Structure 1
Amino acid sequence: MNKNNFAALPPMGWNSYDYYDTTVNEEQVKANADYMAANMKEYGWEYIVIDIEWYSHKPGSMRDKFQYIPFAGVEIDEYARLQPDPERFPSSAGGTGFKHLADYIHSLGLKFGIHIMRGIPRTAAHAHSKVLGTDLTADMVANPSSICGWNPDMYGVRNIEAGQAYYDSLLELYASWGVDFIKCDDICNTNMYVTNQYSARHEIEMLSKAIERCGRQVVLSLSPGPALIDKAWHYEKHANMWRITDDFWDNWDLLKDMFHRCELWENQVSKGCYPDCDMLPLGWLGKGFGKERRTDFTKEEQRTMMTLWCIFGSPLMLGAEMTKMDDWTLSLLTNKDILSMLTPDCRPHQLAHDEMKAVWTAYNDRTKERFIALFNLADEEMEVSVALKDIDETLPTGVSLLELWTQIRTKSSDGKISSILPAHGSSVYRLE
């Protein structure tokens, strides 16, 4: 199988983390899947991803002290493979895992994904659990000197044949459940090890090989960032997505910084291989963190984020509780003209960037469409412009433009495209 065909377009979906943190349950996942199927599927939204700690007992019950309860009880099978917590995911009772929930999501015409942590469960290593397909036990596969600095659940896996067998057994299990998407954490950048931030390189390769062997197309997403630009070739060979930032939240400074990050990675966007700008923190967020709230991004900042993610070609993973989504936020996510930029046929390029402004262009090699995005990064209203000759010297001095958010048609004047933008605002044009 060619992994580049698993995600011919940047994946678009929903992830439970920004709203539920560690606490999401089956009923809530189904409710969000129902909403996506009814309101967003026709626009390309298709993945429903359960994020971290789906195997843990009573997650979130000590949230005032711990995000991840140290050495809490987990649901696990005899072969060191974590299972869904049946208290939160009742359909997993009897050892059926996520199969019934995946079947439900597939019945809606959507795809199903899960979050995993790199490695093998510590509890399995301590119990000397079997590793399927080998004569070794989990303690022989685990590397106790390879850990995650912020989550206590796993040891890294040794670079040995039995380690590969462990990952093969995981993907065999996930394929039987009907998993279409895996977000693997503590693997893209093992930032606890500052002198060896790519210490999990062999585990990326093991996961990639296990996916090839499992007989199912499974998109592989690597977290957290920032991804290492000198390892771009390795990410591209073994994964479909890799995070170019640490956790992204609804903070203007974080969004402003993404212009630097996207510039660094703009030449690495290709079919099946997507530098990932992380979640879209829109709508209602934070319930699992102890404080349900609306996004702190202004509407202008929300448009700026969507414009940058799409013209750059990032995957889109929504963090909102979709059942509470308002019409304005839904319209932000279902603008077909904006989403038309989200294809590897569209080649992105940051043409200008300083503290006050940014200008991006993208040219679709297949449709021959050209897009221009103007961003005001300043804290007050400002005019942002770009000369047509700086975009393409063959462009005439007057070109017809369609602004994709407002659907207003206009023309360039004085040989430039110009827009007066509010603070943190943006405009994006398609040349017509």
Structure 2
Amino acid sequence: MQVDTTTPPMGWNSWDCYGPSVTEDEVLANAEFMAAHLLTFGWNVVVVDIQWYEPTARAGGYNDDPPVELDAFGRQVPAPNRFGSAADGAGFGPLAARVHDLGLSFGLHIMRGIPRRAVELDLPILGTAWTATDAADTGSVCPWNPDNYGLNHDHPAAQAYYDAQVAQFAAWGVDFIKADDMLAPFHDAEIAAYAEAIRRSGRPIVLSLSPGTGLDTAHLDHLRDNAAMWRISDDLWDRWEDVHDQFDRLARWAPTQRPGGWADADMLPLGRIGIRAERGQDRPSRLTPDEARTLMTLWVMARSPLMFGGDLPSTDADTLALLTNPAVLEILKHSDGGGQVSRDGDAVLWSARATRPTPRAGAAGDPPAAATYLAAFHLGDQASSAVVDPDAVGVRGPHTATDLWSGEVLDLAEPLTIPPHGVRLVRLDPHH
């Protein structure tokens, strides 16, 4: 099921709720919920995050010298104690097929490089006379995960290993790969080699790069040439300070967004998270309702991919309503020019333009006109009021103003009340 990257991808990722230890049953439960309740709104990607090949994976960190599951050619395979359908060499093929049958796309996470265990065993690289030792750069390691060595791209064994790994993913039916430890520092050779392996696989697989800590727009051309998504921050959790810090980053990256290449502000830590996660215990997201609306509004105005991190079957109705507001998701799918207009202390104003008309705008018989979106944020700890002036974004003449979260028709001559850490998201529909 090819992932459409002409608009920002939308999906579910297992990390925020299950960390490294998600199971097949949990993935399927979330996929089935997505197909039943979210697919019609555009949510259609299911991603199994880190260490699906680690039979002893646990919450709250990584095991030293993990006993990762490998095939005879040093390629990771799903741990059968967690993914029962992967037994007897089936890999993720059966699970991907189940996900596809639901009308969804299937994705997985992978670390940069080659498993250290493959190097220790000096396993052969498929279709070559080389071995893992030839491919590995043992001096290149991830500072926070013990699974892999980097690759030595001065040796052709490095590209051969990625080619073999991605060919296996393609054979399983993988549609989306989240490749981690790629951006901090920026591993340009690794990124280009992975993109080449995807091209050689013959399958249209979307490449998403992480983690993005300190990522600079100077890398934009390289990113666009090789990937469809790239993270612009470290992991984002259910803390207001994490959301707050994305405002400056997205102000820099939003003007670069275009079909096929999306700056990614990271997952949505909403709903029920922390079930077996890296940080914190089983909990509902600690973001307040206003903070959650701010997060969703900022992400759609900046056209960041949306990857939900909570456990969908146990997610509360209010959170599901955030994910399924058609008027808000319209901004993600059909707008351009999104960006910050102004920032004055805690007062932040964003705007974007609709790229297709609002059919009900104007009087009967008038041709429909495209809307303008305004998002008035208040980042402070106390409520605020603000006058939103359409002239500030070039909207003149008569128009209707609608709050897209409440559905309320507004009189913008009156100040808008904005709650602490909150937002008012307004669509301006011009009249003729």
Q: Which residue of 2 aligns with 1:381?
A: 383
Q: Is the 8 A contact 2:334 2:356 kept in 1?
A: no
How far the C-alpha of 1:345 sits from its partner, in A, is 4.3
**In 2 relative to 1, CA 236–172 (structure 1 residues): closer, same or farther, beyond 3 Å?**
same
Q: C-alpha distance in 1, partners of 2:344/2:335?
A: 27
Q: C-alpha distance in 1, partners of 2:229/2:253?
A: 12
* Paired residue total: 412
Q: Which residue of 2 aligns with 1:283?
A: 271
Deviation readout 1:263-304 (Å, 9 max, x if unpaired): 110111000111001010001111113610111100000001
Q: C-alpha distance in 2, partners of 1:423/1:403?
A: 17
Q: Which residue of 2 aligns with 1:192?
A: none
Q: Which residue of 1 aligns with 2:325?
A: 335
Residues 1:144 and 2:142 are matched in the alignment: no
Which residue of the other structure, out of 122, 125, 128, is the alignment partner of 2:122?
Answer: 128
Q: Is the 8 A contact 1:77 1:83 kept in 2?
A: yes
Q: Which residue of 1 aligns with 2:428?
A: 431
How far the C-alpha of 1:6 sits from its partner, in A, is 4.6
- Which amino acid is 2:30 matched to? N
Q: C-alpha distance in 1, partners of 2:118/2:21?
A: 23
How far the C-alpha of 1:124 sits from its partner, in A, is 0.5
Which residue of the other structure, out of 282, 295, 299, is the alignment partner of 1:292?
Answer: 282
How do 1:366-405 residues align onto structure 2 when only pairs under 5 Å count? 366-367=356-357, 368-392=370-394, 395-396=396-397, 398-405=398-405
Q: Which residue of 1 aligns with 2:175?
A: 180
Deviation readout 1:365-410 (Å, 9 max, x if unpaired): 4443311111011111101233322211x612x5311111111112
Q: C-alpha distance in 2, partners of 1:54/1:270?
A: 32
Q: Which residue of 1 aligns with 2:163?
A: 168
Instruction: State the 4+ residue runs in structure 1 displaced beyond 6 angstroms.
Output: none
TM-score, structure 2 normalization: 0.93
Q: Which residue of 1 aligns with 2:363?
A: none
Q: Which residue of 2 aligns with 1:217?
A: 204
Q: Is the 8 A contact 2:335 2:352 kept in 1?
A: no
- Which amino acid is 2:312 matched to? M
Q: Which residue of 1 aligns with 2:89?
A: 95
3-state SS in 1 of match to 2:73 = coil
Deviation readout 1:112-135 (Å, 9 max, x if unpaired): 000000000011011111111221
Unaligned runs of 5+ in 1: 190-196
Q: C-alpha distance in 2, partners of 1:272/1:6?
A: 8
Residues 1:237 and 2:225 are matched in the alignment: yes
Residues 1:311 and 2:301 are matched in the alignment: yes
Q: Which residue of 2 aligns with 1:324?
A: 314
Higher mean C-alpha displacement, 17-26 vs 376-385: 376-385
TM-score, structure 1 normalization: 0.93
Q: Is the 8 A contact 1:399 1:411 kept in 2?
A: no
Unaligned runs of 5+ in 2: 358-369
Q: Which residue of 1 aligns with 2:417?
A: 420
Q: C-alpha distance in 1, partners of 2:242/2:347?
A: 15
Q: Which residue of 2 aligns with 1:194?
A: none
Q: C-alpha distance in 1, partners of 2:72/2:25?
A: 27
How far the C-alpha of 1:429 sits from its partner, in A, is 1.1
Which residue of the other structure, out of 184, 187, 194, is the alignment partner of 1:207?
Answer: 194
Higher mean C-alpha displacement, 226-235 vs 28-37: 226-235
Q: C-alpha distance in 1, partners of 2:302/2:5?
A: 16
Q: Is the 8 A contact 1:102 1:112 kept in 2?
A: yes
Q: C-alpha distance in 2, partners of 1:406/1:347?
A: 24
Q: Is the 8 A contact 1:120 1:156 kept in 2?
A: yes
**In 2 relative to 1, CA 144–113 (structure 1 residues): closer, same or farther, beyond 3 Å?**
same
3-state SS in 2 of match to 1:145 = strand
